[in-house]
Amino acid sequence: MKYREAVRAGLREALRSDPRVFLMGEDVGRYGGSYACSLGLLEEFGPERIRDTPLSESAFVGAGIGAALGGMKPIVEVMTVNFSLLALDPIVNVAATIRHMSGGQFGVPLVIRMATGAGRQVAAQHSHSFEGWYAHVPGLKVVSPSTVADARGMLLAALREADPTIIFEHAALYPMEGGPVPDNMAVDLSRAAVRRAGKDATILAFGANLWKALSAAEELAREGVEAEVVDLRVLRPLDDDTILSSVRKTRHAVVVDEAWRSFGFSAELSARIMEGAFRDLAAPVARVCSAEVPIPYPKHLEDAALPQPGAIVAAVLATIGSGTAIAHGRV
């Protein structure tokens, strides 16, 4: 099963199991979705439940909020994360605040799916990684499925939430193939996942960068360094226990984030590690992020601007080297 097929399977299962669930967004119906995630669903469920919308993110996200308040379970698809900027007001100023402003009387059981990330030569306006922007906002749950199984399981789990959940699907993952996806697989939307055990350094990543981190860990293993790879997958709320437990064990941490380094998600994660495991660290937290430029269109420049396995390997070796120097009093 491919990642996009897992998303489609999750959508189909949700639509079949609950008549309150419907999907809305640009081109989700007749076209089958910009990434083929909803292909065939219009024919199966009809236009009342698979709704093509006008090109107005503010309008159809707002409609989704209203439907959720009215007792429905809408899934809203925003074609790419940059288009979600047109819906910041309904997401941040309405969906995220209603639970608080109503004194707990109302929730917004809304799921917003959006494609994120770079690496596909779609240039500066369609290559953003704004996960950290949304993870900054209380009242939202923010998740990023990195595996085929999570692409389906996290969607179904999000539909059980009483408050809004944003699912970031890295667009580079849609064609990725994975193993069998078990039916009724439960996903805990509060826990990170250790994808590879190790003892020498912790690599923290999510989305498509998980696979770059795992590739880097394989290369490190050939050099005798055993890196533990943690798939964050839930960005708000962060699973501090899993993160800090791994860092306390390995004493070295490298954060991989496709967003820009300055003022970003990687900075928050680094601060939490320093606050929660400072005395366990043998070296400062290292970060591997995108270059501080709009993402270029040419493939060789895009690759150079994004985190790559080689840069992750170098960061791990550098932090382990500086840790050894600190231990021997050389710095």
| Rounded Cα–Cα distance for residues 251 and 282 (Å) | 5
Q: At what angle do helices 3-17 and 148-158 cross, to 10 degrees?
A: 30
Domain limits, CATH 3.40.50.970, in the chain:
3-173
* Options 126, 128, 170, 252, the catalytic residue: 126
| Rounded Cα–Cα distance for residues 12 and 66 (Å) | 23
Distances (CA, A) of 209 to 60, 76, 239, 327: 30, 25, 18, 31
Contact between 304 and 317 under an 8 Å Cβ cutoff? The reply is no
Q: Where are the beta strands (DSSP E) in 40-140?
A: 50-52, 73-80, 111-116
Residue 198 main-chain phi, psi, to 5 deg: -165, 170
Contact between 108 and 163 under an 8 Å Cβ cutoff? The reply is yes
| Rounded Cα–Cα distance for residues 200 and 301 (Å) | 32
| Encoded tokens for 116 | 């994120």
Give CA angle at 146 (96, 203), nearest 5°. Answer: 100
Is 126 marked active-site?
Answer: yes
CATH architecture of 193-327: 3-Layer(aba) Sandwich (3.40)
| Rounded Cα–Cα distance for residues 264 and 17 (Å) | 38
Does domain 3-173 sit in CATH 3.40.50.300? no
Contact between 275 and 307 under an 8 Å Cβ cutoff? The reply is no
> pTM of this prediction?
0.95
What is the structure's pLDDT at 58?
96
Contact between 111 and 75 under an 8 Å Cβ cutoff? The reply is yes
Residues of the chain with pLDDT under 50: 325-331
Is 57 marked active-site?
Answer: yes
Tokens 């922007």, located at residue: 133
* Options 5, 26, 57, 302, the catalytic residue: 57
Domain limits, CATH 3.40.50.920, in the chain:
193-327
